[in-house]
Structure 1
Amino acid sequence: MLLKKSSNFGEKNDVCYLNGKVKFQGVALNVYSYVVDGVLIDTGAQSLRKHFETFIEQADFDQVMITHFHEDHTGCAAYIEKTKKLPIYIDEKTIDYCAQRADYPFYRQLFWGRRKPFHAQVMPETFTSRNATWDVIDTPGHAYDHKAFLNRQTGQLFTGDLYVNEKTRVILEEESVPTIIQSLERVLTYDFHEVFCNHKGFVEDGRIALERKLNNLLALQQDVLTLQQQGNPATEIRSKLFPRKYPITRFSGGEWDSIHIVTSIMKGL
């Protein structure tokens, strides 16, 4: 099986980044790692280790903050633990999981590699970098341990996988749209000026983009509930609202699917 791997390095408003990309059979995925003011935010994927390890070796940082436990964000954490001996922080709920051998479906291992065990410390509610104080914002929904990081001095918000796209078409089976809505509402109470997403990169007009995503999800939630009240089952609602079939649904064996949007809304309220 031939995967096409690539990456590109850049800098935006004093934030350095590496964007790693994997393509296979019409499915293209990517993930960002950021370095700002001595903080590395997420470590990239094990499958792209040659790219991310080079970025890590060249970067100037003294602590690692991880938005959530998924393998595309934690894949090179073990390398950092081994080579740099720097503190790595993640939500307390997934410290034990990350210290063990990773277990997730084959297609995810194909794209992102097998994440090696690493040892992390408990994520604080706030932390300091070289020149700034940061808020750690609880933003579950995509993952139950998900965090966003806000630099109070610069107003730069690092949203992990909270944003990704303005319009949500498929989600993981364990995701919850109602919980994502709550997380978006929570993060929008903070004062921020720029948004950096771990899959989209720098988001133009970031606050407005997050507000649009929130409004889209609220409208989608209402559509699902209205159709449910009319007696439509989840599969019929999915067909009405999401008639298109996405490659990732087939490739993931249904772990990513529009049906999970519908069922999470039906179960969440």
Structure 2
Amino acid sequence: MLLKKKVIIESLNGVQSINGILSFQGVTLNVFCYVTDGVLIDTGGKSLLKQFEPFLLEQDYEQVWITHHHEDHTGGAAFVLENRNVPVFIHQMSLKDSKGKPDYPLYRQLFWGRRKAFHAIPFSDIMNSRNANWDIIETPGHSKDHLAFLNRQTGQLFTGDLYVNPKTKVIMQSESIPTIIESLKKVLTYDFGDVFCQHAGLVKNGRNMLSQKKEYLEEIQYQVLRLHQEGLTNKEIQQQLFPRKYPITTFSSGDWDSLHIIESVLMSE
């Protein structure tokens, strides 16, 4: 599969970032990695490793923190361990999976590559970097092991895939909208300023945008439950709330679909 690849390296409010962009047949995906105060946050996808190698080798860090186990965030972890004498931290529940052969759908392997196994160690509730203490915040919903990182000194919040965009239209079958809502509520109780998303980059007016996403998802949840109570089927609800079809749904053979939003809301009832 011939992927178009592009990387953008820049400094965002004092945080070094690399953004890798992949395109194929109308589907474009991207992922950010960040370096701040001696910490590398996520390692990108294996398919972007050649483009990410200079960044991963030359940036100044002595720790690697993984927001969650998905292959677009862990694809460079083995490379870092092979080339830098640094520890890699991940959620406790993902330690075993990290050491083994990854198990994820073919379309994701084609897009992000087949990541190598890597050895990681678990986070503590509070982590330290060179000049700061950090809160390690459990934020499941996108994945069970999802984490957000808050630098207490700078107020900078790294949200992994919790934000991505303010109006979610499709999700993976494994995701849970009610759980994401609770995770958004949780992070909004913290005192933070800048918000760094692993797919949207530096989010302007980050607190407001996270709040907007929470309110949007709460409204979607309400509408799904209302229409369900009126007797509409899941497909009929989908047609009312999400009439547009997205290329990622076809490309992923339905793994990404607006129908999963409805199913996840009703499953929690």
1:74 partner letter: T
SS at match of 1:32: strand
Match of 1:53 in 2: 53
Cα distance in structure 1, aligned partners of 2:142 and 2:104: 16
2:119 partner letter: H
Match of 1:13 in 2: 13
Match of 2:234 in 1: 234
Q: Map 1:180-259; keep pairs closer than 5 Å.
A: 180-259=180-259
Match of 1:41 in 2: 41
Cα distance in structure 2, aligned partners of 1:229 and 1:121: 46
1:109 partner letter: Q
CA contact (8 A) 2:37 2:130 kept: yes
SS at match of 1:62: strand
1:155 partner letter: G
Cα distance in structure 2, aligned partners of 1:123 and 1:115: 21
Moved over 3 A (4+): none
1:81 partner letter: L
Matched, 1:73 2:73: yes
Match of 1:146 in 2: 146
The CA deviation at 1:263 is: 0.4
Q: Deviations over 1:182-216 (max 9, x none)?
A: 00000000000110000000000000000000000
The CA deviation at 1:45 is: 0.6
State the identity as a percent. 56
CA contact (8 A) 2:57 2:83 kept: no
2:224 partner letter: V
Cα distance in structure 2, aligned partners of 1:149 and 1:172: 23
Match of 1:156 in 2: 156
Which stretch has the larger CA shift, 68-77 or 106-115? 106-115
Cα distance in structure 2, aligned partners of 1:58 and 1:81: 14
2:251 partner letter: F
For structure 1, list consecutive stretches of 5 or more residues without a partner in the other structure.
none
CA contact (8 A) 2:99 2:118 kept: yes
For structure 2, list consecutive stretches of 5 or more residues without a partner in the other structure.
none
The CA deviation at 1:14 is: 1.1
The CA deviation at 1:154 is: 0.4
The CA deviation at 1:268 is: 1.2
SS at match of 2:61: coil
Cα distance in structure 1, aligned partners of 2:202 and 2:184: 17
Cα distance in structure 1, aligned partners of 2:124 and 2:261: 31
Q: What's the TM-score, normalizing by structure 1?
A: 0.99
Q: What's the TM-score, normalizing by structure 2?
A: 0.99
Q: Deviations over 1:43-67 (max 9, x none)?
A: 0110000121111111000000000
2:262 partner letter: V
Cα distance in structure 1, aligned partners of 2:14 and 2:165: 24
Q: Deviations over 1:123-172 (max 9, x none)?
A: 11110100000000000000000000000000000000000000000000
The CA deviation at 1:85 is: 2.4
Match of 1:88 in 2: 88
SS at match of 2:174: coil
The CA deviation at 1:72 is: 0.1
Aligned length in residues: 269
Q: Deviations over 1:12-65 (max 9, x none)?
A: 111000000100000000000000000000001100001211111110000000
The CA deviation at 1:100 is: 0.5
Cα distance in structure 1, aligned partners of 2:6 and 2:180: 30
